Chains A and B, each alone.
Chain A
Amino acid sequence: VQLQESDPGLVKPSQTLSLTCTVSGGSINSGDYYWSWIRQPPGEGLEWIGYIFYTGSTYYNPSLKSRLMISVDTSNNQFSLKLSSVTAADTAMYYCARGSNIENWFDPWGQGTLVTVSS
């Protein structure tokens, strides 16, 4: 299984950040896994954003919940993130990853995409 994030690049403050993760080499339609977003500000540690099951059930980090929406497109084997009202604090490398619904690990991860929030 491989995961690949889209590349939105630069996002202006107050706008909505949109990312898509494309899953290849396996189906997103599996109850054994969930599909997650994690981010890492430059030079800092990892922050879990949220995850989604193929059924559409979602789990969000409460710190981002009011601005966050994660969705799944099973027909295209993709899942997506939308984060609204972004600020410079949302500048980070964004990773998508597959999560195990049984043992709760993240593997594999996508290569990551750097999103910069700047006017």
Chain B
Amino acid sequence: DIQMTQSPSSLSASVGDRVTITCRASQSISTYLNWYQQKPGKAPILLIYVASTLQSGVPARFSGSGSGTGFTLTISSLQPEDIATYYCQQTYSSPLTFGQGTKVEIK
């Protein structure tokens, strides 16, 4: 199985800060990488697919980059509504696997 490791596990930042979350795959997954946002008590929603394509309706302050084994999710200017846990997911091979999540809080 491909292991997905996110860092940090949690972070605290101020409104307006630039926030970066890293996801590393245990082997190369090309750009078969998605990012999801999960707010407390809610189902996850798709933010970014194939590493860098923004899902329709997602604010432009979210962006993704990377290929191979290293990927990043960036929030250019953190907003209060961005408080959530963020998960990366690889779809390169079965079983599809997720990172352990990064919890984002407001300082």
Task: From known contacts A45-B99, A45-B101, A48-B97, infer whether A105 and B43 are also in contact, taking CB-CB under 8 Å.
Answer: no
Task: From known contacts A46-B44, A95-B43, A111-B43, infer whether A105 and B99 are also in contact, taking CB-CB under 8 Å.
Answer: no
In the complex, chain B residues whose CB is within 8 Å of the CB of A61: 94-96
What distance in Å separates the Cβ of B86 from its nearest Cβ neighbour in chain A?
A: 11
Looking at chain A, what size class is its interface with the partner chain? 20 to 34
State which residues 79-97 of B face A: CB under 8 Å. Answer: 87, 89, 91, 94-97
Q: Are B43 and A110 in contact (CB under 8 A)?
A: yes
The answer, among B42, B55, B94, B100, for a CB contact under 8 Å with A59, is B94
Q: Are A45 and B46 in contact (CB under 8 A)?
A: no
State which residues 50-76 of A face B: CB under 8 Å. Answer: 59, 61-63
What distance in Å separates the Cβ of B55 from its nearest Cβ neighbour in chain A?
A: 7
Say yes or no for A7: interface residue by CB 8 A criterion.
no
What distance in Å separates the Cβ of A104 from its nearest Cβ neighbour in chain B?
A: 4
Q: How far is the CA of A58 from the CA of B43 in the complex (A)?
A: 23
Q: Are A45 and B100 in contact (CB under 8 A)?
A: yes
How does the 8 Å CB contact mask read for A74-110 relative to B, with 1 for contact and 0 for none?
0000000000000000000001000010011111111
Q: How far is the CA of A58 from the CA of B2 in the complex (A)?
A: 20
Q: Please list 20 pairs of residues, one from A and one from B, whose beta carbons are closer than 8 Å in the complex, sorted by A's number.
A: A45-B100, A46-B44, A46-B98, A48-B95, A63-B95, A104-B49, A104-B91, A105-B46, A105-B55, A105-B91, A106-B34, A106-B36, A106-B44, A106-B89, A107-B45, A108-B43, A108-B46, A111-B42, A111-B43, A112-B43
What is the interface of chain B, defined by CB distance below 8 A to chain A?
32, 34, 36, 42-46, 49-50, 53, 55, 87, 89, 91, 94-101
Q: A45-B101, A61-B96, A103-B53 are in contact. List 20 more A-B contacts (CB 8 A).
A: A46-B36, A46-B44, A46-B87, A46-B89, A48-B98, A59-B94, A62-B94, A62-B95, A95-B43, A100-B49, A103-B49, A104-B49, A105-B34, A105-B91, A106-B36, A106-B46, A107-B45, A107-B46, A111-B43, A112-B43
What is the interface of chain A, defined by CB distance below 8 A to chain B?
45-48, 59, 61-63, 95, 100, 103-112
